Structure 1
Amino acid sequence: MADATGELLAIADELYALDLAEFTPARDARAKELKGTDLAKPVKSLRKPSTAAWVVNLLVRHETEQVDQVLAVGAALRAAQASMSADELRTLTKQRRQLTAAVTSQARAVAKERGVRVTDAVADQVAATLTAAMVDEGCAKAVRSGLLVTTIEATGVDEVDAGAAVALPEALGFAAVPRASVTAAPPPSRPQLEVVPDPEADLKVRRAAEAELARAEAELADAQTGLDEAGEEVSRLEARGLQLQAEIDELRSRIAELEEEHDALDEELAEAEDTRDEARASLDDLTRARDAARDALDRLSG
């Protein structure tokens, strides 16, 4: 069974290395040759790759070293991501994008040598697939197989079914056989991408982690100081609030007393006004009586 799988992968490797237009007739011819064997049906079932998938497969075989560098950088980024600071991750993410753009540009050049013009839409799919290979280990295996039938997208967060993007489930873990470059000399714009091992990488990562920890502890201390100061201010304001509430309650009590005094005064005022009105009426009556007596006396005297 292992030999049959290995033979099937070898046949698939040959077919997916062909030009896109040659794939279907070559596949059918090979399946016809294998008629009567256990390999005939699986060979016939091999799917024709999309244009973007074919470009990535082409890149894997004709620019194998660059693709391996891309995958190595992706593996290093995934391994170091947990221990790096935000600034370092932003820098590495920018470098990853630059690397992806450079290799995608090279893929367009390789496809052009085979007489295939890569549109911007296809180039975007190629770039997305290379990015997926850098952020997801399963996608990296799918790309390195050179047996992609469709492109891949991955964010590094959600799980990706990389097996659905390759011609055979066994392709994950298979590495496409490198082919000679189509032209003897590479184009002038070919990017020279190298991954140089850094002997102090672990030390740098540790120092970066220590610096990040020190920065976080300093920020935590500042935050604690701010919290303490804010707590003191809250306590001061709460005490002042209680004092003002006590003063308000005292004033309300005093207002209630004054309102009672005012109500009593209103009653006394009403009684005094009644007494005054009665006295004025009595005075008017007496004044009239006096005037009448004076008139009577004047008449008697006359």
Structure 2
Amino acid sequence: MSDETGDEPGLLDLAEQLYSLPLGEFTAARDALVKQHRGTDLARDLKALRKPTTAAWVVDLLVRHETEQVEQVLSVGAALREAQESMSADELRSLTRQRRQLTAAVTTTARGLAREHGLRVTEAVAEQVQATLTAAMVDAECARAVRSGLLVAPLETTGMDDVDVAGALALPQALGFEAPAAAPPEAPPRPELRVVPDPEAEAKARAAAQDELDAADEELAAAREAREEAGQRVEELEARSLQVQSEIDELRRRLAELEEASDEVDDELGGAEEERDEAQAALEDAQAERDRAAAALTALDPR
């Protein structure tokens, strides 16, 4: 948009350029324009342009870089304003909850976008951003103000109070203006990749092949050594097995001899026990005979 005189940009065009800048560059850029147009009414109007608050700048940034999301918020807000006239109290509460969820999600997007542009958004600023988006959904004039991308102050309304929309805009002409979507950042040119023949490719290939062969030879030698050690171990264990088997055979022979001797001892033990029992019986008989004899002697002795 330009002045009626032709080529020179007008106040609204210059304001659009200023409010699309990073927040920290606004004042210097505005003062440079004032100096450039010194002595004109345009210089006076430019000097009157206020630096946006952080929350207002974040909303303006969102309008330019996430235009589709902002349009969705404004469209949903317009539809809800029409529908809520016939809604019940429960439906209105549900509407308020859904509206809050939508504005919270878009506020999260705005915080991430601001971070990408070098500005950290505090919780307090985020609350002002969400309040401004809510106002845009609740009030049609607030929606036009947000869509301008020329906010200098956040908005807030419940839908039942009057909002100073003009006081939140950079200039009166902003109401009805729609900030253009920012052009997507240009992708850096892709480097041209060319395959450059390596003059030492053949030598490197030979060296790599020789390294592989040397490694394979080492593995083969190690495998042979391990095979010899394993063979020796098998021979040692076979010899030990024969020795142990021989010892087992000797023990079995000795066990057979001891079992035979045990049987003989058992037989002799049986005979000895019989002799002992017979001797015991003879002893008892002799003792009884002796006791009778002693008794007879005592009876014959008058003393």
TM-score (normalised: structure 2): 0.58
Relative distance call for 1:150 and 1:182 in structure 2 (3 A) is: farther
Q: CA deviation digits over 1:246-288, x for unaligned, max 9? A: xxxxxxxxxxxxxxxxxxxxxxxxxxxxxxxxxxxxxxxxxxx
Query: In structure 2, which of residues 151, 158, 168 is the aligned counterpart of residue 148 of structure 1?
Result: 151
Q: Does 1:88 align with 2:83?
A: no
1:107 is aligned to 110
Report SS of the residue matched to 2:118: coil
SS at match of 2:69: helix
2:141 matches 1:138: yes
Cα displacement (A) at 1:182? 5.5
Identify the match of residue 11 of structure 1 among 4, 10, 14.
14
Q: How many residues are paired up?
A: 184
Identity of aligned residues (%): 66
Aligned partners of 1:17 and 1:57 also within 8 Å: yes
Which segments of structure 1 move beyond 6 Å, counting only runs of 4 or more?
Answer: none
Find the counterpart in structure 1 of residue 26 from structure 2: 23
> 1:161 — aligned with what?
164
Quote the offset at 1:183 in angstroms: 8.7
Tell me: CA distance 1:85–1:17, structure 2 relative to 1, closer, same or farther (3 Å): same
Q: 2 CA distance for matches of 1:32 and 1:159?
A: 38
Matches within 5 A, 1:124-273: 124-181=127-184
1:278 maps to which residue? none
Contact kept, 8 Å, 1:147 with 1:167, in 2: the verdict is yes
Could you say which structure has the larger radius of gyration? 2
CA distance in 1, matches of 2:31, 2:149: 20
Q: What do you get for the CA RMSD once the two structures are aligned? A: 2.0
Gaps of 5+ in 2: 188-303
Structure 1 residue aligned with 2:294 = none
Measured at CA, do residues 183 and 100 of structure 1 come closer, stay the same or move farther in structure 2, by a change above 3 Å? Answer: farther
Aligned to 1:66: 69
Equivalent position amino acid for 2:60 in 1: N
Aligned counterpart, 1:48: 51
Give how far 1:38 is off: 2.4
In structure 2, distance between residues paired with 1:66 and 1:181: 15
Query: Cα offset for 1:40?
Result: 1.0
- Which residue of 2 is the match for residue 297 of structure 1? none
Following superposition, the deviation at residue 46 of structure 1 comes to 0.5
Quote the offset at 1:138 in angstroms. Answer: 1.2
For residue 84 of structure 1, report the CA deviation from its aligned partner.
Answer: 1.8
> Contact conserved, 1:125 with 1:151, CA < 8 A, in 2?
yes
Question: CA 1:8–1:105 in 2, change beyond 3 Å: closer, same or farther?
Answer: same
Q: Deviations over 1:112-141 (max 9, x none)?
A: 000100000000000011111111111111
**Comparing both chains, which one has the higher relative contact order based on Cα–Cα distances under 8 Å and sequence gaps of 6 or more?**
1
Q: Structure 1 residue 80: deviation in Å?
A: 1.1
Instruction: Specify whether residues 110 and 40 from structure 1 end up closer, same or farther in structure 2 by C-alpha distance, changes over 3 A only.
Output: same
1:113 touches 1:182 (CA, 8 Å); kept in 2?
Answer: no
Change (3 A) 1:58 1:182: farther
Q: Which amino acid aligns with 1:174?
A: F
1:148-173 CA distance string (max 9 Å, x none): 11111101001111111001011111
CA–CA separation in structure 1 for the residues paired with 2:89 and 2:184: 40
Contact 1:152 1:165 in 2 (8 A): yes
Q: Separation in 1 of the partners of 2:170 and 2:59? A: 14
Note if 1:121 corresponds to 2:129: no
Deviation at 1:83, TM superposition (A): 1.2
- Alignment pair present for 1:38 and 2:41: yes
- Answer yes or no: is the 8 Å Cα contact 1:55–1:107 preserved in 2: yes
- 1:159 is paired with a residue of what secondary structure? coil
Q: Which moved more, 1:150-159 or 1:32-41?
A: 32-41
Tell me the residue number matched to 2:207. Answer: none
Shift of 1:87: 2.5
Unaligned runs of 5+ in 1: 185-302
